[in-house]
Amino acid sequence: MKQRVGLGFDVHRLEAGRRCVLGGIELPHPTGPLGHSDGDAVLHAIADALLGAAGLDDLGTLFSDRDARWKDADSAQLLRECLARVHAAGWRVGNLDVVIATEGPRIAPHRAAMRARIAQLLDVAADAVNVKGKTLEGLGALAHGAGVAVQAVVLIERV
């Protein structure tokens, strides 16, 4: 097979006093994703999509939140480790698309910076990475800034 796709999803609570790290960059916001690592739900969803496309298990299995080694881990580092496994399996990243659903930080002003940072982390051009924010219309447990949910779809190609 020459191309494969993978789907990733992640959710984190947003809590006061946490750095707001999403998409590999820090946003100016009074709350941030709670997590064992830095809580970057965007990079976690992308990592799971990548691993899923290559048939390489998932982020929670490779980097358990019960393992002290990954406490406060930089998710950019975790993503790079996942990418190295995908490359070692003979794949490269084609393109990816990401939806960030939250009523916490506004995503639109930071889309370009996120795209550039994610592209840098995945060794692809910025136009191979798309990121968009969606509000939750005030509905559900994640609304009103309580959390962030992310979906990512990634295409990989045989090298």
**Binding residues vs Mg ion (CB under 5 A):** 10, 44
Task: Provide the CA 127 distance to its chain's centre, in angstroms.
Answer: 17
CA angle 69, 11, 89 (to 5 degrees): 60
In the complex, what is the shortest distance from the CB of residue 2 to Mg ion, in angstroms, rounded to a whole number? 30
Q: Which residue has the CB atom at the shortest distance from Mg ion?
A: 44
When the beta carbons of 2 and 38 are compared against Mg ion, the nearer one is 38
In the complex, what is the shortest distance from the CB of residue 8 to Mg ion, in angstroms, rounded to a whole number? 10
When the beta carbons of 81 and 157 are compared against Mg ion, the nearer one is 81
When the beta carbons of 85 and 92 are compared against Mg ion, the nearer one is 85
When the beta carbons of 18 and 44 are compared against Mg ion, the nearer one is 44
* Phi then psi dihedrals of residue 60, to 5 deg: -65, -30
In the complex, what is the shortest distance from the CB of residue 58 to Mg ion, in angstroms, rounded to a whole number? 11
Buried b (16+ CB within 10 A) or exposed e, 16-55: eebebbbbbbebebebbbebebbbbbbbbbbbbbbbbbbe
H/E stretch holding 62 reads helix 59-62
In the complex, what is the shortest distance from the CB of residue 35 to Mg ion, in angstroms, rounded to a whole number? 6
d(CA 69, CA 107): 30
When the beta carbons of 33 and 133 are compared against Mg ion, the nearer one is 33
d(CA 101, CA 99): 6
d(CA 59, CA 52): 9
In the complex, what is the shortest distance from the CB of residue 136 to Mg ion, in angstroms, rounded to a whole number? 18
